[in-house]
Amino acid sequence: MRIALLGGTGDIGQGLALRWAHDSDHEVVLGSRDPERAREKAEEYETELASLGRERKVTGFANGMAADRADVVVLAVPAYHLTDTVEAVADGLDENTVLVTPAVGMKRDDDGFHYNPPPGGSVAALAAEAAPEGVPVVGAYHNLAAGRLADLETDLDWDTPVFGDDEDAKETVVRLTEDIEGLRPLDAGGLANAAEVESLTPLLINLASENDGLHDLGVKFQ
Amino acid sequence: MRIALLGGTGDIGQGLALRWAHDSDHEVVLGSRDPERAREKAEEYETELASLGRERKVTGFANGMAADRADVVVLAVPAYHLTDTVEAVADGLDENTVLVTPAVGMKRDDDGFHYNPPPGGSVAALAAEAAPEGVPVVGAYHNLAAGRLADLETDLDWDTPVFGDDEDAKETVVRLTEDIEGLRPLDAGGLANAAEVESLTPLLINLASENDGLHDLGVKFQ
Protein backbone atom coordinates (compact mmCIF):
# COMPACT_ATOMS: atom_id res chain seq x y z
CA MET A 1 0.00 0.00 0.00
CA ARG A 2 0.96 3.60 -0.43
CA ILE A 3 0.69 5.44 2.90
CA ALA A 4 0.87 9.24 2.97
CA LEU A 5 1.70 10.78 6.31
CA LEU A 6 0.62 14.41 6.27
CA GLY A 7 2.55 15.99 9.08
CA GLY A 8 4.99 13.13 8.71
CA THR A 9 7.89 15.37 9.58
CA GLY A 10 7.18 15.50 13.29
CA ASP A 11 5.69 13.91 16.38
CA ILE A 12 3.37 10.95 15.76
CA GLY A 13 3.85 11.18 11.97
CA GLN A 14 7.57 10.60 12.28
CA GLY A 15 7.09 7.52 14.42
CA LEU A 16 4.47 5.97 12.14
CA ALA A 17 6.62 6.69 9.05
CA LEU A 18 9.69 5.09 10.61
CA ARG A 19 7.81 2.06 11.95
CA TRP A 20 6.00 1.30 8.67
CA ALA A 21 9.21 1.79 6.68
CA HIS A 22 11.10 -0.44 9.10
CA ASP A 23 8.53 -3.17 9.79
CA SER A 24 6.69 -3.44 6.45
CA ASP A 25 7.14 -3.02 2.71
CA HIS A 26 4.42 -0.39 2.36
CA GLU A 27 5.39 2.69 0.37
CA VAL A 28 5.87 5.55 2.84
CA VAL A 29 5.38 9.12 1.63
CA LEU A 30 5.78 12.17 3.86
CA GLY A 31 3.66 15.24 3.34
CA SER A 32 4.27 18.71 4.70
CA ARG A 33 3.12 22.20 3.89
CA ASP A 34 6.80 22.80 3.10
CA PRO A 35 7.93 20.26 0.44
CA GLU A 36 11.60 21.01 1.07
CA ARG A 37 11.20 20.05 4.72
CA ALA A 38 9.38 16.85 3.70
CA ARG A 39 12.25 15.90 1.37
CA GLU A 40 14.87 16.59 4.03
CA LYS A 41 13.01 14.53 6.63
CA ALA A 42 12.53 11.68 4.15
CA GLU A 43 16.29 11.58 3.61
CA GLU A 44 16.89 11.72 7.35
CA TYR A 45 14.56 8.74 7.89
CA GLU A 46 16.28 6.81 5.06
CA THR A 47 19.64 7.40 6.72
CA GLU A 48 18.32 6.26 10.10
CA LEU A 49 16.74 3.14 8.61
CA ALA A 50 19.97 2.34 6.72
CA SER A 51 21.93 2.64 9.97
CA LEU A 52 19.70 -0.15 11.31
CA GLY A 53 20.37 -2.26 8.22
CA ARG A 54 17.09 -1.44 6.51
CA GLU A 55 17.56 0.10 3.04
CA ARG A 56 14.27 1.83 2.30
CA LYS A 57 13.00 4.50 -0.02
CA VAL A 58 11.04 7.24 1.78
CA THR A 59 9.85 10.23 -0.23
CA GLY A 60 8.68 13.71 0.76
CA PHE A 61 6.34 16.13 -1.01
CA ALA A 62 3.94 18.96 -0.40
CA ASN A 63 0.78 17.58 1.27
CA GLY A 64 -1.32 17.60 -1.91
CA MET A 65 1.21 15.64 -3.92
CA ALA A 66 1.83 13.22 -1.04
CA ALA A 67 -1.87 12.41 -0.72
CA ASP A 68 -2.39 12.00 -4.45
CA ARG A 69 -2.66 8.29 -5.34
CA ALA A 70 -2.17 7.25 -1.70
CA ASP A 71 -4.30 4.35 -0.44
CA VAL A 72 -4.23 5.66 3.10
CA VAL A 73 -3.73 9.28 4.18
CA VAL A 74 -2.85 9.82 7.84
CA LEU A 75 -3.71 13.30 9.10
CA ALA A 76 -0.84 13.55 11.59
CA VAL A 77 -1.40 17.25 12.12
CA PRO A 78 -2.69 19.22 15.13
CA ALA A 79 -6.48 19.25 15.42
CA TYR A 80 -6.62 22.96 14.57
CA HIS A 81 -4.89 22.29 11.22
CA LEU A 82 -7.05 19.32 10.34
CA THR A 83 -9.72 21.03 8.27
CA ASP A 84 -7.33 23.10 6.16
CA THR A 85 -5.08 20.08 5.65
CA VAL A 86 -8.00 18.00 4.35
CA GLU A 87 -9.08 20.88 2.10
CA ALA A 88 -5.55 21.20 0.71
CA VAL A 89 -5.50 17.55 -0.38
CA ALA A 90 -9.19 17.04 -1.20
CA ASP A 91 -8.67 16.87 -4.99
CA GLY A 92 -6.47 13.79 -4.59
CA LEU A 93 -8.96 11.86 -2.44
CA ASP A 94 -11.73 9.53 -3.55
CA GLU A 95 -13.84 6.75 -2.07
CA ASN A 96 -10.86 4.39 -2.31
CA THR A 97 -8.68 6.57 -0.09
CA VAL A 98 -8.87 5.98 3.65
CA LEU A 99 -8.41 9.11 5.76
CA VAL A 100 -6.95 8.33 9.18
CA THR A 101 -7.23 10.78 12.06
CA PRO A 102 -4.94 10.38 15.10
CA ALA A 103 -5.42 13.95 16.35
CA VAL A 104 -6.85 14.94 19.74
CA GLY A 105 -8.15 18.31 20.89
CA MET A 106 -6.73 19.16 24.30
CA LYS A 107 -6.39 22.11 26.59
CA ARG A 108 -4.01 22.48 29.48
CA ASP A 109 -4.49 24.12 32.85
CA ASP A 110 -2.66 24.03 36.17
CA ASP A 111 -4.06 20.58 36.95
CA GLY A 112 -3.11 18.86 33.73
CA PHE A 113 -4.34 18.13 30.24
CA HIS A 114 -8.03 17.91 29.44
CA TYR A 115 -10.01 16.65 26.50
CA ASN A 116 -11.29 19.63 24.57
CA PRO A 117 -13.13 18.44 21.47
CA PRO A 118 -14.24 20.75 18.67
CA PRO A 119 -17.96 21.62 18.47
CA GLY A 120 -18.82 18.44 16.51
CA GLY A 121 -17.99 16.41 19.62
CA SER A 122 -14.69 14.88 18.48
CA VAL A 123 -11.77 15.52 16.16
CA ALA A 124 -12.89 12.52 14.15
CA ALA A 125 -16.30 14.15 13.60
CA LEU A 126 -14.46 17.24 12.36
CA ALA A 127 -12.43 15.09 9.95
CA ALA A 128 -15.59 13.39 8.68
CA GLU A 129 -17.16 16.78 8.08
CA ALA A 130 -14.06 18.05 6.25
CA ALA A 131 -13.67 14.90 4.13
CA PRO A 132 -15.07 15.00 0.58
CA GLU A 133 -18.33 13.05 0.09
CA GLY A 134 -17.72 9.31 0.09
CA VAL A 135 -14.17 9.38 1.51
CA PRO A 136 -14.12 7.11 4.58
CA VAL A 137 -12.64 8.36 7.85
CA VAL A 138 -11.04 6.07 10.42
CA GLY A 139 -9.70 7.07 13.85
CA ALA A 140 -6.51 5.42 15.14
CA TYR A 141 -3.12 6.00 16.79
CA HIS A 142 -4.32 8.67 19.26
CA ASN A 143 -2.73 6.97 22.20
CA LEU A 144 0.77 6.26 20.90
CA ALA A 145 3.54 8.16 22.67
CA ALA A 146 5.45 9.90 19.87
CA GLY A 147 8.89 9.64 21.43
CA ARG A 148 8.86 5.90 21.97
CA LEU A 149 7.11 5.27 18.66
CA ALA A 150 9.90 7.09 16.81
CA ASP A 151 12.65 5.24 18.66
CA LEU A 152 13.15 2.16 16.49
CA GLU A 153 15.46 0.58 19.04
CA THR A 154 12.60 0.36 21.54
CA ASP A 155 10.16 -2.54 21.26
CA LEU A 156 6.48 -1.64 21.49
CA ASP A 157 3.81 -3.50 23.43
CA TRP A 158 0.77 -1.33 22.98
CA ASP A 159 -2.84 -1.41 21.90
CA THR A 160 -4.50 1.22 19.77
CA PRO A 161 -8.28 1.51 19.41
CA VAL A 162 -9.47 1.86 15.81
CA PHE A 163 -12.92 3.22 14.98
CA GLY A 164 -14.94 4.19 11.93
CA ASP A 165 -18.27 3.71 10.18
CA ASP A 166 -16.87 2.12 6.99
CA GLU A 167 -15.99 -1.48 7.86
CA ASP A 168 -13.70 -1.98 4.83
CA ALA A 169 -11.74 1.17 5.60
CA LYS A 170 -11.47 0.17 9.25
CA GLU A 171 -10.23 -3.28 8.23
CA THR A 172 -7.54 -1.66 6.05
CA VAL A 173 -6.29 0.35 9.03
CA VAL A 174 -6.45 -2.71 11.29
CA ARG A 175 -4.22 -4.62 8.88
CA LEU A 176 -1.76 -1.74 8.51
CA THR A 177 -1.58 -1.48 12.29
CA GLU A 178 -0.82 -5.18 12.62
CA ASP A 179 2.11 -4.60 10.26
CA ILE A 180 3.84 -2.57 12.97
CA GLU A 181 5.49 -4.92 15.42
CA GLY A 182 4.17 -4.71 18.96
CA LEU A 183 1.06 -2.76 18.05
CA ARG A 184 -2.35 -4.43 18.50
CA PRO A 185 -5.36 -2.75 16.88
CA LEU A 186 -8.66 -3.08 18.75
CA ASP A 187 -12.04 -2.32 17.27
CA ALA A 188 -13.67 0.56 19.17
CA GLY A 189 -16.82 0.69 17.03
CA GLY A 190 -18.07 3.59 14.93
CA LEU A 191 -17.19 7.28 14.65
CA ALA A 192 -19.78 8.01 17.35
CA ASN A 193 -17.39 6.37 19.82
CA ALA A 194 -14.54 8.75 18.95
CA ALA A 195 -14.64 10.93 22.08
CA GLU A 196 -13.98 8.01 24.43
CA VAL A 197 -10.88 7.08 22.41
CA GLU A 198 -9.60 10.62 22.00
CA SER A 199 -10.03 11.26 25.76
CA LEU A 200 -7.43 8.63 26.54
CA THR A 201 -4.59 10.86 25.34
CA PRO A 202 -4.82 13.57 28.03
CA LEU A 203 -5.15 10.80 30.66
CA LEU A 204 -1.90 9.21 29.44
CA ILE A 205 -0.15 12.60 29.58
CA ASN A 206 -1.47 13.28 33.10
CA LEU A 207 -0.37 9.86 34.36
CA ALA A 208 3.10 10.25 32.86
CA SER A 209 3.40 13.68 34.44
CA GLU A 210 2.23 12.64 37.93
CA ASN A 211 4.08 9.34 38.38
CA ASP A 212 7.84 9.07 38.74
CA GLY A 213 9.37 6.58 36.36
CA LEU A 214 6.49 6.60 33.90
CA HIS A 215 6.96 8.42 30.60
CA ASP A 216 6.04 7.90 26.97
CA LEU A 217 3.01 5.97 28.18
CA GLY A 218 0.85 3.76 26.03
CA VAL A 219 -1.84 1.33 27.02
CA LYS A 220 -2.72 -2.36 27.01
CA PHE A 221 -6.30 -3.49 27.49
CA GLN A 222 -6.44 -6.77 29.37
CA MET B 1 -8.44 0.53 58.52
CA ARG B 2 -12.19 0.33 58.54
CA ILE B 3 -13.51 0.42 54.97
CA ALA B 4 -17.22 0.95 54.35
CA LEU B 5 -18.48 -0.09 50.93
CA LEU B 6 -21.79 1.64 50.31
CA GLY B 7 -23.37 -0.36 47.53
CA GLY B 8 -21.12 -3.19 48.62
CA THR B 9 -23.80 -5.73 47.79
CA GLY B 10 -23.32 -5.61 44.04
CA ASP B 11 -21.11 -4.89 41.08
CA ILE B 12 -17.83 -3.09 41.84
CA GLY B 13 -18.60 -2.94 45.58
CA GLN B 14 -18.77 -6.71 45.82
CA GLY B 15 -15.39 -7.14 44.12
CA LEU B 16 -13.66 -4.53 46.28
CA ALA B 17 -15.16 -6.02 49.46
CA LEU B 18 -14.05 -9.54 48.56
CA ARG B 19 -10.55 -8.46 47.47
CA TRP B 20 -9.88 -6.36 50.58
CA ALA B 21 -11.23 -9.08 52.84
CA HIS B 22 -9.14 -11.69 51.04
CA ASP B 23 -5.89 -9.82 50.47
CA SER B 24 -5.66 -7.58 53.55
CA ASP B 25 -6.62 -7.37 57.20
CA HIS B 26 -8.67 -4.19 56.84
CA GLU B 27 -12.10 -4.28 58.42
CA VAL B 28 -14.67 -4.59 55.64
CA VAL B 29 -18.19 -3.25 56.22
CA LEU B 30 -20.95 -3.42 53.62
CA GLY B 31 -23.55 -0.72 53.40
CA SER B 32 -26.90 -0.88 51.64
CA ARG B 33 -30.16 1.02 51.74
CA ASP B 34 -31.59 -2.34 52.88
CA PRO B 35 -29.68 -3.50 56.00
CA GLU B 36 -31.08 -7.02 55.73
CA ARG B 37 -29.62 -7.35 52.25
CA ALA B 38 -26.26 -6.02 53.50
CA ARG B 39 -26.21 -8.64 56.28
CA GLU B 40 -27.08 -11.45 53.87
CA LYS B 41 -24.39 -10.40 51.43
CA ALA B 42 -21.82 -10.10 54.23
CA GLU B 43 -22.55 -13.68 55.23
CA GLU B 44 -22.35 -14.80 51.63
CA TYR B 45 -18.91 -13.18 51.28
CA GLU B 46 -17.74 -14.76 54.53
CA THR B 47 -18.80 -18.17 53.22
CA GLU B 48 -17.01 -17.62 49.93
CA LEU B 49 -13.85 -16.43 51.66
CA ALA B 50 -13.95 -19.42 54.01
CA SER B 51 -14.25 -21.77 51.04
CA LEU B 52 -10.92 -20.32 49.88
CA GLY B 53 -9.39 -20.90 53.29
CA ARG B 54 -9.74 -17.31 54.45
CA GLU B 55 -11.73 -16.97 57.68
CA ARG B 56 -12.83 -13.35 57.73
CA LYS B 57 -15.45 -11.26 59.45
CA VAL B 58 -17.51 -9.13 57.04
CA THR B 59 -20.40 -7.11 58.40
CA GLY B 60 -23.40 -5.49 56.78
CA PHE B 61 -25.51 -2.50 57.86
CA ALA B 62 -27.69 0.27 56.55
CA ASN B 63 -25.52 2.84 54.74
CA GLY B 64 -25.48 5.36 57.59
CA MET B 65 -24.36 2.83 60.18
CA ALA B 66 -21.77 1.35 57.79
CA ALA B 67 -20.19 4.76 57.13
CA ASP B 68 -20.16 5.74 60.80
CA ARG B 69 -16.61 5.46 62.20
CA ALA B 70 -15.25 4.23 58.85
CA ASP B 71 -11.83 5.58 57.79
CA VAL B 72 -12.69 5.21 54.14
CA VAL B 73 -16.16 5.24 52.59
CA VAL B 74 -16.43 3.94 49.03
CA LEU B 75 -19.48 5.23 47.16
CA ALA B 76 -19.99 2.11 45.04
CA VAL B 77 -23.42 3.27 43.90
CA PRO B 78 -24.69 4.43 40.49
CA ALA B 79 -23.91 8.08 39.72
CA TYR B 80 -27.59 9.03 39.97
CA HIS B 81 -27.70 7.73 43.58
CA LEU B 82 -24.48 9.41 44.61
CA THR B 83 -25.86 12.63 46.06
CA ASP B 84 -28.62 11.01 48.11
CA THR B 85 -26.21 8.34 49.35
CA VAL B 86 -23.77 10.99 50.58
CA GLU B 87 -26.61 12.90 52.22
CA ALA B 88 -27.81 9.74 53.96
CA VAL B 89 -24.41 9.18 55.59
CA ALA B 90 -23.26 12.80 56.03
CA ASP B 91 -23.66 12.81 59.81
CA GLY B 92 -21.08 10.06 60.16
CA LEU B 93 -18.43 11.79 58.04
CA ASP B 94 -15.74 14.22 59.13
CA GLU B 95 -12.40 15.52 57.86
CA ASN B 96 -10.76 12.23 58.82
CA THR B 97 -13.06 10.19 56.58
CA VAL B 98 -11.98 9.70 52.98
CA LEU B 99 -14.86 9.52 50.49
CA VAL B 100 -13.97 7.44 47.43
CA THR B 101 -15.95 7.72 44.21
CA PRO B 102 -15.64 4.98 41.58
CA ALA B 103 -18.87 5.92 39.74
CA VAL B 104 -19.11 6.98 36.10
CA GLY B 105 -21.98 8.70 34.29
CA MET B 106 -22.67 6.96 31.00
CA LYS B 107 -25.34 6.82 28.35
CA ARG B 108 -25.81 4.13 25.76
CA ASP B 109 -26.89 4.41 22.15
CA ASP B 110 -26.77 2.13 19.12
CA ASP B 111 -23.02 2.72 18.71
CA GLY B 112 -21.96 1.96 22.24
CA PHE B 113 -21.45 3.55 25.62
CA HIS B 114 -20.57 7.20 25.99
CA TYR B 115 -19.29 9.33 28.80
CA ASN B 116 -22.17 11.42 30.10
CA PRO B 117 -21.02 13.46 33.09
CA PRO B 118 -23.38 15.39 35.34
CA PRO B 119 -23.51 19.20 34.96
CA GLY B 120 -20.47 19.75 37.24
CA GLY B 121 -18.28 18.07 34.60
CA SER B 122 -17.61 14.77 36.37
CA VAL B 123 -19.11 12.42 38.91
CA ALA B 124 -16.21 13.25 41.21
CA ALA B 125 -17.18 16.94 41.08
CA LEU B 126 -20.69 15.92 42.05
CA ALA B 127 -19.32 13.91 44.98
CA ALA B 128 -17.18 16.86 46.09
CA GLU B 129 -20.25 19.09 45.98
CA ALA B 130 -22.32 16.60 47.98
CA ALA B 131 -19.62 15.95 50.57
CA PRO B 132 -19.85 17.87 53.87
CA GLU B 133 -17.36 20.74 54.25
CA GLY B 134 -13.84 19.45 54.88
CA VAL B 135 -14.45 15.80 53.93
CA PRO B 136 -11.90 14.88 51.25
CA VAL B 137 -13.01 13.16 48.03
CA VAL B 138 -10.79 10.81 46.04
CA GLY B 139 -11.62 9.17 42.71
CA ALA B 140 -10.49 5.59 42.08
CA TYR B 141 -11.56 2.15 40.81
CA HIS B 142 -13.61 3.43 37.83
CA ASN B 143 -11.92 1.12 35.39
CA LEU B 144 -12.10 -2.21 37.21
CA ALA B 145 -14.29 -4.82 35.53
CA ALA B 146 -16.71 -5.92 38.24
CA GLY B 147 -16.96 -9.55 37.15
CA ARG B 148 -13.26 -10.28 37.19
CA LEU B 149 -12.70 -8.21 40.32
CA ALA B 150 -15.26 -10.31 42.21
CA ASP B 151 -13.79 -13.60 41.00
CA LEU B 152 -11.16 -14.32 43.64
CA GLU B 153 -9.79 -17.23 41.67
CA THR B 154 -8.68 -14.87 38.90
CA ASP B 155 -5.41 -12.99 39.32
CA LEU B 156 -5.53 -9.31 38.51
CA ASP B 157 -2.92 -7.36 36.56
CA TRP B 158 -4.46 -3.92 36.30
CA ASP B 159 -3.79 -0.27 36.94
CA THR B 160 -6.26 2.14 38.43
CA PRO B 161 -5.82 5.92 38.27
CA VAL B 162 -6.38 7.70 41.61
CA PHE B 163 -7.08 11.42 41.79
CA GLY B 164 -7.98 14.03 44.37
CA ASP B 165 -7.05 17.43 45.76
CA ASP B 166 -6.18 16.26 49.29
CA GLU B 167 -2.76 14.61 49.10
CA ASP B 168 -3.10 12.74 52.41
CA ALA B 169 -6.48 11.32 51.43
CA LYS B 170 -5.11 10.30 48.03
CA GLU B 171 -2.15 8.62 49.70
CA THR B 172 -4.54 6.64 51.94
CA VAL B 173 -6.38 5.35 48.87
CA VAL B 174 -3.10 4.59 47.08
CA ARG B 175 -1.98 2.44 50.01
CA LEU B 176 -5.35 0.65 50.25
CA THR B 177 -5.16 -0.06 46.53
CA GLU B 178 -1.69 -1.54 46.85
CA ASP B 179 -3.13 -3.92 49.44
CA ILE B 180 -5.12 -5.63 46.68
CA GLU B 181 -2.87 -8.03 44.83
CA GLY B 182 -2.36 -7.24 41.17
CA LEU B 183 -3.74 -3.72 41.39
CA ARG B 184 -1.37 -0.79 40.79
CA PRO B 185 -2.60 2.70 41.76
CA LEU B 186 -1.37 5.54 39.56
CA ASP B 187 -1.61 9.20 40.48
CA ALA B 188 -3.83 11.02 37.98
CA GLY B 189 -3.56 14.42 39.68
CA GLY B 190 -6.39 16.49 41.13
CA LEU B 191 -10.19 16.36 40.97
CA ALA B 192 -10.04 18.60 37.89
CA ASN B 193 -8.62 15.61 36.01
CA ALA B 194 -11.63 13.40 36.85
CA ALA B 195 -13.34 13.44 33.45
CA GLU B 196 -10.35 11.91 31.67
CA VAL B 197 -10.32 9.03 34.17
CA GLU B 198 -14.09 8.49 34.20
CA SER B 199 -14.14 8.48 30.36
CA LEU B 200 -12.04 5.35 30.30
CA THR B 201 -14.93 3.19 31.51
CA PRO B 202 -17.18 3.50 28.42
CA LEU B 203 -14.11 2.91 26.22
CA LEU B 204 -13.38 -0.36 28.06
CA ILE B 205 -17.00 -1.45 27.64
CA ASN B 206 -16.97 -0.59 23.92
CA LEU B 207 -13.71 -2.48 23.33
CA ALA B 208 -14.98 -5.54 25.17
CA SER B 209 -18.18 -5.44 23.16
CA GLU B 210 -16.51 -5.01 19.74
CA ASN B 211 -13.62 -7.49 20.03
CA ASP B 212 -14.09 -11.24 20.18
CA GLY B 213 -12.26 -12.84 23.04
CA LEU B 214 -12.00 -9.66 25.12
CA HIS B 215 -14.26 -9.29 28.13
CA ASP B 216 -14.02 -7.92 31.66
CA LEU B 217 -11.37 -5.54 30.39
CA GLY B 218 -9.06 -3.51 32.56
CA VAL B 219 -6.02 -1.52 31.62
CA LYS B 220 -2.27 -1.35 32.09
CA PHE B 221 -0.38 1.84 31.35
CA GLN B 222 3.07 1.10 29.97
Spatial CB neighbours of A194, under 8 Å, sequence gap ≥ 6: A121, A122, A123, A124, A125, A139, A163
The amino acid present at B48, given as its one-letter code, is E
The answer to whether the Cβ–Cβ distance between B207 and A220 falls below 8 Å is no
Q: What is the pLDDT of residue B8?
A: 86
Kindly state the percentage of chain B with pLDDT values over 70: 100
Interface pTM, i.e. ipTM: 0.94
pLDDT digits over B40-97, tens only? 999 999 999 999 999 999 999 999 999 999 999 999 999 999 999 999 999 999 999 9
Contact A66, A38 (CB under 8 A): yes
Indicate the SS3 state at residue A22: helix
Q: Identify which of A112, A113, A218 has the shortest CB distance to residue B222.
A: A218
* A2-210, CATH topology level: Rossmann fold (3.40.50)
Q: What is the pLDDT of residue A8?
A: 86
pLDDT at B10 over 90: no
pLDDT digits over B199-221, tens only? 999 999 999 999 999 999 999 99
Contact B19, B12 (CB under 8 A): no
The answer to whether the Cβ–Cβ distance between B195 and A114 falls below 8 Å is yes
Q: What is the pLDDT along chain A (222 residues), one digit of tens a residue?
A: 999 999 988 889 999 999 999 999 999 999 999 999 999 999 999 999 999 999 999 999 999 999 999 999 999 999 999 999 999 999 999 999 999 999 999 999 999 999 999 999 999 999 999 999 999 999 999 999 999 999 999 999 999 999 999 999 999 999 999 999 999 999 999 999 999 999 999 999 999 999 999 999 999 999
Q: Identify which of B112, B189, B211 has the shortest CB distance to residue A186.
A: B211
Residue A15: in which H helix or E strand, if any? helix A11-23
Indicate the SS3 state at residue A32: strand
The answer to whether the Cβ–Cβ distance between B207 and A192 falls below 8 Å is no
A-chain residues near B157 (CB < 8 A): 222
B-chain residues near A125 (CB < 8 A): none
**How distant is the Cα of B96 from the closest Cα of chain A, in angstroms?**
24
pLDDT digits over B98-119, tens only? 999 999 999 999 999 999 999 9
Q: Identify which of A114, A193, A211 has the shortest CB distance to residue B112.
A: A193
Closest CA relative to residue A100, chosen from A138, A143, A135: A138
Q: What is the mean pLDDT of chain B?
A: 97
The amino acid present at A101, given as its one-letter code, is T
